[in-house]
């Protein structure tokens, strides 16, 4: 899976599903970088074919609306959209 990885403090397994063109996705990625946490991210709009379908199904498991950004923490908790407060709270 072509995830990009950002090093930082380990606050659980963080996966950010994002779009390369989306302003709120960018703000979310920059917030995670500011918080200096370790996370992986993937730009779903840049994927093609089977890989794209696979990742879309993955996102839908956590967010049936298939909207972005979708941040998944420890394969369990999901934060949809640039919700700064919720993200900060979850990563204390």
Partner 1 sequence: MNHPEVDEAKVDDYYLKIKKQAESAGYHLNPDVEFTKSLIKSIIINENRYGYGACPCRLSSGMREDDVDIICPCDYRDPDLQNYDACYCGLYVSGEILTGEKKLKAIPERRPSPEQREKIMINKKPESKDLPFPVWRCRVCGYLCAREEPPETCPICKVDKDRFERFI
By CB under 8 A, is residue 68 in contact with partner 1? yes
Structure tokens at 45: 């709009």
- Please work out the total of residues on this chain that contact partner 1, with binding judged by CB under 8 A: 24
Where is 16: in which H helix or E strand?
A: strand 14-18
Choose one: 7-15, 31-39, 41-49; the region binding partner 1 (CB under 8 A): 41-49
Cα 55–chain centre separation: 12
For the chain, the C-alpha Rg in angstroms (whole number) is 12
Out of 21, 33, 36, 75, which residue is the one contacting partner 1 (CB under 8 A)? 21
Out of 39, 41, 62, 82, which residue is the one contacting partner 1 (CB under 8 A)? 82
């Amino acid at each position: 899976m072509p995830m990009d990885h950002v090093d930082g403090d380990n606050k659980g397994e963080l996966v950010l599903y994002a779009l390369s063109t989306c302003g709120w996705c960018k703000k979310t990625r920059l917030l995670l970088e500011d918080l200096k946490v370790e996370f992986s991210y993937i730009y779903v709009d840049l994927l093609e074919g089977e890989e794209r379908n696979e990742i879309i199904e993955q996102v839908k498991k956590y967010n049936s609306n298939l909207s972005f950004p979708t941040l998944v923490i420890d394969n369990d908790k999901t934060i949809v959209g640039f919700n700064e407060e919720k993200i900060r709270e979850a990563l204390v």
